[in-house]
């Protein structure tokens, strides 16, 4: 079962702009995670936010979690061409980590 759903499906921005990606989910979770995948390669863990946390920062990344709305957002500030990748949210619940279908981010130089 697909738990998280990312929005938008694709995003194209100019280098230096901020990128905001959203994730909604349906059931109660233990935590929510964001991953990045460069074309055809393995996923890389970016950040994890627990269900009792509302906001977390890591470098240029800021993630928020609203459990009442069952949604999360990932903000990448001052984007770079190297941020071009697919981004996935994943929800941890019932001893499993379930991924959404992903967002394709393109950062134009």
Tell me which residues touch other proteins (CB under 8 A): 1-2, 30-31, 33, 35, 40-45, 48, 88, 92, 95-102
- Cβ nearer to other proteins, comparing 41 with 57: 41
With b meaning 16 or more CB within 10 Å and e meaning fewer, what string describes 26-37? eeebebbbbbbe
- Cβ nearer to other proteins, comparing 9 with 18: 9
Is residue 96 within 8 Å of 3, Cβ to Cβ? no
Cβ 99 to other proteins, closest distance in Å? Answer: 4
Strands 5-7 and 19-24 turn out to be: antiparallel
Cβ 82 to other proteins, closest distance in Å? Answer: 19
- Cβ nearer to other proteins, comparing 49 with 76: 49
Query: Edge to edge, what strands does the sheet with 55-58 contain?
Result: 5-7, 19-24, 71-76, 61-66, 55-58
- Cβ nearer to other proteins, comparing 43 with 107: 43
Cβ 58 to other proteins, closest distance in Å? Answer: 11
Cα distance between residue 74 and residue 94, in whole Å = 23
């Amino acid at each position: 079962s697909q738990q998280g759903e990312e929005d938008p499906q694709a995003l194209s921005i100019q280098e230096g702009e901020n990128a905001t990606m959203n994730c909604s989910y349906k059931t109660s979770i233990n935590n929510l995670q964001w991953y990045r995948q460069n074309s055809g390669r393995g996923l890389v863990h970016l950040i994890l936010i627990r269900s009792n946390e509302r906001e977390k920062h890591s470098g240029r990344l800021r993630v928020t979690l609203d459990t009442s709305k069952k949604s999360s957002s990932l903000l990448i500030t001052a984007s770079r061409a190297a941020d071009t990748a697919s981004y996935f949210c994943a929800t941890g619940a019932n001893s499993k980590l379930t991924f959404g279908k992903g967002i394709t981010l393109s950062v134009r130089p």
